[in-house]
Every structure is written in structure tokens, then in C-alpha cells.
Amino acid sequence: MRGEDEAKVGTARRIYQALKAQILDGTYGARDRLPSTRALAAEFGVSRTTVTVAYEQLLSEGYLESRQGARSRVAMLGGDETARPRQKPRPIAAERRPVAQARLSRFGQSLGEGPAWAPPVAAGLIADFRYGDLSGADFPDAAWRKAVTLALRRRPRRLAYDDPSGALPLRTALQPYLWRARGLRCDPGQIIIVNGSQQGLDLAARVLVDPGDRVAMEDPGYVMARRVFSAAGADVVAIAVDGEGLRTELLDNLDDARLAYVTPSHQFPLGGVLSARRRQALLSWARRTGAYVIEDDYDGEYRYDIQPIPPLQTMAEAENVIYLGTISKSLSPMLRLGYLVVPPSLQRAFAAAKQLVDRHSPSLEQEALAAMISSGAYERHIRRSRRSNGRRREALLAALAAELGDRVTISGADAGLHVAVWFNQLEKADESTLITKARERDIGLYPISPLYSAADAAHRPDRAGAVMGYASLDVPQIGQGVAALARLLAEWLD
Amino acid sequence: MRGEDEAKVGTARRIYQALKAQILDGTYGARDRLPSTRALAAEFGVSRTTVTVAYEQLLSEGYLESRQGARSRVAMLGGDETARPRQKPRPIAAERRPVAQARLSRFGQSLGEGPAWAPPVAAGLIADFRYGDLSGADFPDAAWRKAVTLALRRRPRRLAYDDPSGALPLRTALQPYLWRARGLRCDPGQIIIVNGSQQGLDLAARVLVDPGDRVAMEDPGYVMARRVFSAAGADVVAIAVDGEGLRTELLDNLDDARLAYVTPSHQFPLGGVLSARRRQALLSWARRTGAYVIEDDYDGEYRYDIQPIPPLQTMAEAENVIYLGTISKSLSPMLRLGYLVVPPSLQRAFAAAKQLVDRHSPSLEQEALAAMISSGAYERHIRRSRRSNGRRREALLAALAAELGDRVTISGADAGLHVAVWFNQLEKADESTLITKARERDIGLYPISPLYSAADAAHRPDRAGAVMGYASLDVPQIGQGVAALARLLAEWLD
């Protein structure tokens, strides 16, 4: 019996200490109601008496206030305590524990080299030309809501893990869509639904690349792809690009690569379209060496004055091609959906990897997207979105021509949601100054240098450059942003 | 000029060939309408004339039918062609391409060893005791729909990648929830939102374990955890469990492990609760050796006649503990949401790993869950769900006692959503026969042997065993399933 009583007191003390700490943290703010003794007793699996003991101690110490018949509230503590914002409790753990040195794997250590995530800063800027962001105004709210509502209505009798390759309705909707939109033919079994193209890249790196393997990568190229391959321990070989995309003749001496990463429809960031001759050369190289080719078709929906370019995957010799698509540019980067189309011989390995990594992508988004594609709403949205971005692109090109003229050289404007801009009067070394000066004038401008594997790459023009994304801006903002940039350059250089 | 005409003819031929192939595939079935020439022209960025050339060729060859003013439809082709179901086109790629031998990484090769995903078979069964599935009837449809609707209403002006650690509203809602529900104190910065606990395990393995490193793992234990560590190249050391959970004295000689994986609140699958003495021993070992401990609290919400057991993470010495929680057992495994609580010294590495792996978890589910927690609906649901599962558990235990009596020994019934059942009259070698016989009588019964690291483990009872999950079944089904099992055993053994 005595032991039981002691246990009760111990539990009450634990509840008391924990509640007190939460009040001091600000987790419970002044005047907040604490949970009822009944709820807390049920939650802790103890008697209400035990909770009441804890509450009474807090009352007697002045942390709580109580009126007859009402639930206890946190008292106004005065001084610093009440000034603490509710949502930002003190970092308790850091206080309680010594900040130990983390023991990380080589993968874990390699992550430290990348930049930390930063929230968008657009709010205070004249124009934020950050690439990858989309305008909320373009999002097809009504169609998406309808599709989500449809998906919510589906009530399975049993809730169980779904197919790691992805929800069948989505894969069977994507198969004809990919044909209509990109001329791409595949079996739904070849489609693997992933959480955005980032996960597609990571899966490919894990399934295909061992530490020390060589991976060919466009230079300049997509930083987050390079980081994935580097983190996998790959020896990333930078292959220069020019106006026709990857310079495939530079692959001739690369016999031992396991993988090449390319953006043939619209090279990121320079915008070249891989020529037919080079497409053949790339696939011949892959066939000869046994390397796989990841074709990242990240903005294949957006093309303006040019003919559509069928993906590499559609070519007869494409048995080693892994096609990667995303809805981050067509709908929203926050939905986290993308798709791989893999050769039949890789289906099993990619599905097993996806299962091991996170079982499958969330069913709700998958089913909503399937509904949107099947109803035609997705393609209607893409047509509308292509027109909006076409207007933005024209506004940007017109403003750059009118305001900056010969000061800049532009590449990659035929497709996609960004252009690469070279500043003819500024040397490479001036680039970071340009970015800083732009930010001081409330222009969000982003340097091109980080997209090169090495600052001293011979094929890198000795000029300052920027990647200017326009998909998140409205037309007047684009004009104002470019005008501000022009004023900056005029004052700086003239 | 001539080149342009040739290009047009080439494009028309390509469109013709592709449409024809899709008709033969069954992607477009008999009587289906093809897209309008205008839509297809817009999609391909060609003139309507070019599309019309393709359509006319298909008409002249009898693949299409056309009436004045109406869109072309696919003709009834007769014979095999029309018999093909629409949703299952032939695997084109497999025809076109030789099925090449895949070249996989060591990780990719190791995946082949796991079982392929199989859809649930519950439909035809008297009772499917598969662990991990939940009943659709328990899902809080109205509350979830309300939460999703709230989340959908949030319309950011700019669509951009969110914080890799997870949406701030969710992390700030989880922080007090974890305290209320599990007595767990942390700063929201320590919380990393993941796509279910599977991704939490995979991230931990990648960030903390190098190939060749030793990882201590409960034996028997959670297969998908063991597979994650093995795929990461770890040397997985099996540590026996008994009625008090992990036998921590067996860690004494293990000085070089980087990680231990444990389920202290409810050992999976045997159900022991790690005793206070062993908790101290485990944490002392971790502190002494510098190993991390992953505490998988996979079903911490479900406990019945016992006192709640605060997680390891709440102990003062827990600076090396990584806590892992999930909503797969409380809401649905198809939502793919879970959370890690990591020591402050690991925050940066886990957030960077999450960013590299898939940027962040989908915003919609995160914001919906945040809304559900903040409104109290999540905890109300858990209380309801705990009662439902308590009833199922009682039904299962009562049926097992009444129908099977001494034939079985049950463990792990105090908490969670499953029990481990040992069949006293059947040897280990009879287990697979038992499972097969059960399936022949439409009972979904799942063997315990795969959860052991080795078939000949000395600590493994020489009896047939099964893991019986009950969260997906209604009470009558449970009774019928156990009765059918009893008949099977009676006929087999008596």
C-alpha cells in the first residue's frame, strides 16, 4: 500500500513539475486554461485525485488561478515570464542537456556543406526573381479543391499501405497524359510516383550509384542534383554545356560513369536545347558504356516560340533513360509530387527502394492529381499557366531590352520559367557585389556562379551572371524590378 | 522552305504513328473520341493542318470514324484489338526494348532480398489479422475533411519550398501535444516532420550510419527497420528481448555500435515494456559508447490496463535519444506523416538530409494535421480510437481464451494494436503449414518467424507463432476468425 501511495505522489510531482515548466516556457501563456483534471487524468492513465494534487500545488505557488466551478487558468506572472511569446518556448532541451558533438556518417557530414533553407523574402522586395517559386495567383484553387474533395470522398474499408510505385489511378492517368503532353510512351508499371523530382534524383542515386562511382553532370547545372550525387559519394564529373546543351564530345573519354544527369529540353540554367546530333551521341555513349541517363524534364510544359522537343525517352535507343517529371512547376512546389519513368528492368528496384525509403507517396495528393488529370482540368490549367508565363516572359524580355539593352546578354528564353542573364560590363568577380547592391535596392537577384562546379571553370564566361525566374511575379513587378536594376547599373557604371 | 515542309510531314507522321499505337494499345478504346485537332495542335505546338494530315491518314486506314462536324472517334476494329481493356495497355516498352540487365548499386542490389509489396487481400477473408492496417470505419472523416478544407483555404501569395524540418504550424502544434500525450518536452526546432516513421528510420540510418557500422536491433523486431539498416550497409547485431523488452545486459560487450533501435513502450512484436532498470542501463550504455538510440514509439497512443510509460526521451540522461512518432496508427498509414524529435546537436543534419532527400513533406497534410491537433479534434479522435481498439482487443482476448484456451500463449496485450500468439502444440517448423492452412480457410494469419533475424536464434521459442493485428477488424469478424482458427487446430491436432 505504502508503495502505491509513494507512486501516486511521484506521479503527481511529475505532473506538477512538467506543468510548471510548460508555464515558464510560455507553452501555456497567461490566462490560458489548462486541460481539465479529467482529460489529464485520462491522458496519463492516473486518477483525477493525482492530477488535482499537482494542480493544487501550482495554485498554492501562484502559477495558476482558479474560480469556483471554472477550469484553472495560468496566472499573470509579471516580469519577464509573461513577455515570452506563446509560440516560441525557450529551447528547453538545449538548457537541460550539454550540446554534444554530433557523430555523423559521411553522408551526414557532407550535408553540412550545403546552405541552410531560408524562407522566401519576397514580402519586402520590389521584385524577387528567385527561380523555382510560382505565383499563388496562378494556382487553380477551384479545380484543386474539387479534386481533393473527390479524393476525400473515397473511403476505403481498410486503411493500408498502398503500392510503393504509386496509386494506380494516378499512374493510369499519367500514362496517356505523358503521351499527349510529351509524346512519351510507357506502361503504367514503369511509372514510380515520388515526392517531387528531388526524391526521384535521390532514389536514382541510391539505386544506381556506389561511393566512388563517376556521375556526369551538366556544368553549370542544377545544384540540388549535384548535391544528391555528391552526398551519395559519387565522383561528379562536370561536363561543359554550350548553346546546344551538353557538349557530348566531352563524354568520349568517360568510359566508366554509371550515370549522366541532363536537362535536354531546356538546359538548366543556360537554356540550350540538346541538338538531335547530340541526343544521338549521348544515347550511343550510354549504350556503349552501360551508363544510365537521367532526363530531368523539369519545365517541359513551358515552351514559347519553339517546336516541342520530344524527350530523349521517346527515342528508339533510349533503353537506359530514366525520365523525371514534376508538378512543382505546373501546379505547386509545396504539393511534393513528381514521377519517374524507368526502364522495365529497373521497375522492381525503384519500387523496392521507394518502399524502403517511405513506403509510398501520400494517397490524398496522388488521387487528387489523378482526378485533375482525368477530368482534363490539369491540362486546361497548364495551357492557362503557359499563357500567363508567356506574358511574364515577354514583359521581362521587353524590360531587359528597353532598360538594359547592350548591358546584358540573355540566354534560354525559348522555354521554361527563367532566363540566364549575363552582365556584359561586369566581371565574374563583381557578381557578389551586384547581388548585394541589388538586395540593398530591394531586388531579389540570384547569382549564376553557384551553379558551376568550380569558380575557375574554363568554360565559364568572365562576366557576372544571374538566373532570373519570373513565374512568381506579376507583369508590373517585373517591369519595376528591371527598372530598379537598370538604375543600379547606371549609377554604378556610368 | 523545303526543309520546313519535310519537318511538317515528319511531325504529322510522328503524330499518326503515335495515335495509331495508342489505338492498338487500347489507350484509346473503340468509340472513344480523340482530342480535337485544335487541342492536339496546341499541345504539340504545330499547326492544325499538321494534325489534320495525321487524322486523315488514320481515317483512310480505318482506325478512325468521323461524322460531319463531330470529332473523330476510334473505329470498332474487331478481333483482338477491341477486346483489350482500356486501363491496361500492353507493356509497350517491354516490346520495343530488350530487357537489359539492370546495373544496380550495392544498395539497389540489397533491395531485391525484400518481399515485393502486395495489395491487402482482406476482401475475401473471414478475418485478416494483418498488422498495421486500420479500419476505415475508425477514420475521423468529418474532422479530417474540415481540417483539409481549412488547409486548402490558406492561399500563399507565393508558392515556394517550405522549411525542410516541417511546416511551422504543425511543429508548434506537435510540441505541446507531445508534452500532453507523452510527457515529452522539446523545442519545435528539434521536431523534423517526415513521411511516416519509415522515412524517419531511413534518415537516421543515412545521417548516422556508415557501411560496416554496427547497429543494435531488438530480436525479434520490426522488419522494415532491420531492412533499412541492412540496406545502409550496417552490420545489424541482433539483441534478444524478453518480457521486459531488450535484454540490455547483452549490450555490455557491444562498445562499437553507432545506433540502437528500440521500442521501449511496447516491444514489437512481443509486447514487453522496457523496465526502468533496463532504461537506465540502455541510456548508460549509449552515453558510455557514444551510440544513438532510436526510440520508436509506434503505438504510444494505445495502452489499456497499464500506467502510461513516459518515453526514454523524457529521461534526464537521454541526450542521445532520437524519438520517432507516427500518425499511421492513430489516423491512417496512407497519410504518410510522422515526426522525429532529435537532440539539438542533430537538428541541422536531419533538416539538411530531409531537404536533400525530398525538400519537405507535403504542406497540405501537415497543415491539416496541425489544424486537427490545435482544435482538439485529434486528441478526441485518439480517445475514441483507443476505446474502439480496446473493445477489439477484449474481443480477441476473450475469443482466444474461450476457443483456444491452453493451446495458445499470448503476449503483449497491454498496449498497441496487436498481440503475439504462440501455439503451444505446434513446433516452429509447423509455422508455415499453420499459415497456409489458415489461408485455405480464409483466415489472414501472419507468421512471427520473419521478425527474427535468424531462424535458429537460441532465444526463439520452439513453437509456431503469429502476430495478430486487430485494428482493421470489427468485433464479430474477430470472433469468427478465432473460431475458424480453433476449428482448424481441433481438426489438425485432436
Q: What CA–CA distance (Å, rounded) separates B180 from B378?
A: 12
Which cell numbers in the block locate residue B440? Answer: 485455405
Which of B124, B170, B176 has its CA nearest to residue B147? B170
Which cell numbers in the block locate residue A166? Answer: 504509386
- Residues of chain A positioned with their CB less than 8 A from the CB of B99: 344-345
pLDDT for the residue B388:
96
Among B43, B117, B160, beta carbon nearest to A333:
B160
List residues bridging with B419 in a β-sheet.
B468
- Residues of chain B positioned with their CB less than 8 A from the CB of A471: none
Q: Is A237 helix (H, G, I), strand (E, B) or coil?
A: strand
Size of interface A-B (CB pairs under 8 A): 374
List residues bridging with B240 in a β-sheet.
B219
Q: Do A362 and B335 touch (CB under 8 A)?
A: yes
Which of B202, B358, B213, B108 has its CA nearest to residue A205? B108
What number of other Cβ atoms are within 10 A of residue B82's Cβ?
Answer: 14
Q: What CA–CA distance (Å, rounded) separates B142 from B375?
A: 13
Going by the DSSP 8-state scheme, the letter that residue A97 receives in this structure is S
Residue count of chain B: 494
- Residues of chain A positioned with their CB less than 8 A from the CB of B118: none
Q: What is the least distance, in Å, from the CA of A21 to any CA of chain B?
A: 9
Compute and round to an integer the Cα radius of gyration of chain B.
28
Q: What CA–CA distance (Å, rounded) separates A123 from A139?
A: 19
Residue A207, phi then psi, degrees to nearest 5: -75, -25
Q: What CA–CA distance (Å, rounded) separates A207 from B216?
A: 25
Lowest-pLDDT range of A112-121, A244-253, B431-440: A112-121
Q: What is the least distance, in Å, from the CA of A182 to any CA of chain B?
A: 8
CA angle B235, B237, B240 (to 5 degrees): 165
Give the N- to C-terminal CA distance of chain B in Å, as an integer: 90
Q: What CA–CA distance (Å, rounded) separates A87 from A231?
A: 35
Q: What is the least distance, in Å, from the CA of A115 to any CA of chain B?
A: 8
Q: Do A148 and B152 touch (CB under 8 A)?
A: yes
What number of other Cβ atoms are within 10 A of residue A137's Cβ?
Answer: 13
Asked if A471 and A389 count as a contact pair (C-beta separation under 8 A), the reply is: yes
Which of B192, B144, B150, B151 has its CA nearest to residue B326? B192
Q: How confident is the model at residue A10 (pLDDT cuts 50, 70, 90)?
A: low
Average pLDDT estimate for A123-132: 91
pLDDT tens per residue across all 494 residues of chain B: 344 555 665 677 777 777 777 777 667 777 777 777 877 787 777 788 788 877 877 776 667 877 666 777 887 664 333 333 333 333 343 333 444 578 899 999 988 765 678 777 667 899 999 999 999 999 999 999 999 999 999 888 899 999 999 999 999 999 999 998 888 989 999 999 999 999 999 999 999 999 999 999 999 999 999 999 999 999 999 999 998 999 999 999 899 999 999 999 999 999 999 998 999 999 999 999 999 999 999 998 898 877 667 899 988 888 899 999 999 999 999 999 999 999 999 999 999 999 999 999 999 999 999 999 999 999 999 999 999 999 999 999 999 999 999 999 999 888 899 999 999 999 999 999 999 999 999 999 999 999 999 878 889 999 999 999 999 999 999 999 999 999 999 999 98
Q: Note the pTM of the prediction, 2 decimals.
A: 0.83
Torsion, Cα B416 A156 A165 A228, to 10 degrees, reads -60
User: Tens of pLDDT along A375-386?
Assistant: 999 999 999 999
pLDDT for the residue B451:
96
Among A100, A141, A198, beta carbon nearest to B358:
A198
Q: What is the least distance, in Å, from the CA of A378 to any CA of chain B?
A: 13
Q: Do B345 and A111 touch (CB under 8 A)?
A: no
Highest mean pLDDT, choosing among A122-136, A432-446, B11-25? A432-446
User: Tens of pLDDT along A93-109?
Assistant: 333 344 457 899 999 99
- Residues of chain A positioned with their CB less than 8 A from the CB of B144: 152
pLDDT for the residue B92:
40
- Residues of chain A positioned with their CB less than 8 A from the CB of B136: 155-159
User: Tens of pLDDT along A33-85?
Assistant: 777 787 778 777 778 878 887 787 777 666 787 766 677 788 766 433 333 33
Q: What is the least distance, in Å, from the CA of A181 to any CA of chain B?
A: 6
| CA distances to A305, A397, A401, A486 from A405, in Å | 21, 10, 4, 10
List residues bridging with A257 in a β-sheet.
A214
Q: What CA–CA distance (Å, rounded) separates A71 from A67?
A: 7
User: Tens of pLDDT along A197-216?
Assistant: 999 999 999 999 999 999 99
Q: What CA–CA distance (Å, rounded) separates A143 from A440?
A: 40
Q: What CA–CA distance (Å, rounded) separates A375 from A363?
A: 18
Going by the DSSP 8-state scheme, the letter that residue A303 receives in this structure is B
Going by the DSSP 8-state scheme, the letter that residue A226 receives in this structure is H
Asked if A108 and B208 count as a contact pair (C-beta separation under 8 A), the reply is: yes
Query: Burial, B21: exposed, middle or buried (Cβ in 10 Å; 0-12, 13-18, 19+)?
Result: middle
Name the residue in chain A with its Cα closest to that of B27. A176
**Largest CA-CA distance found in chain B, in angstroms, rounded:** 91
Among B92, B134, B158, beta carbon nearest to A120:
B158
Name the residue in chain B with its Cα closest to that of A132. B160
Which cell numbers in the block locate residue A122? Answer: 519576397
Compute and round to an integer the Cα radius of gyration of chain A.
28
Q: What is the least distance, in Å, from the CA of A478 to any CA of chain B?
A: 15
Q: What CA–CA distance (Å, rounded) separates B308 from B331?
A: 20
Among B100, B104, B122, beta carbon nearest to A158:
B122
Query: Burial, B124: exposed, middle or buried (Cβ in 10 Å; 0-12, 13-18, 19+)?
Result: exposed
Which cell numbers in the block locate residue A234? Answer: 559519387
pLDDT for the residue A46:
79
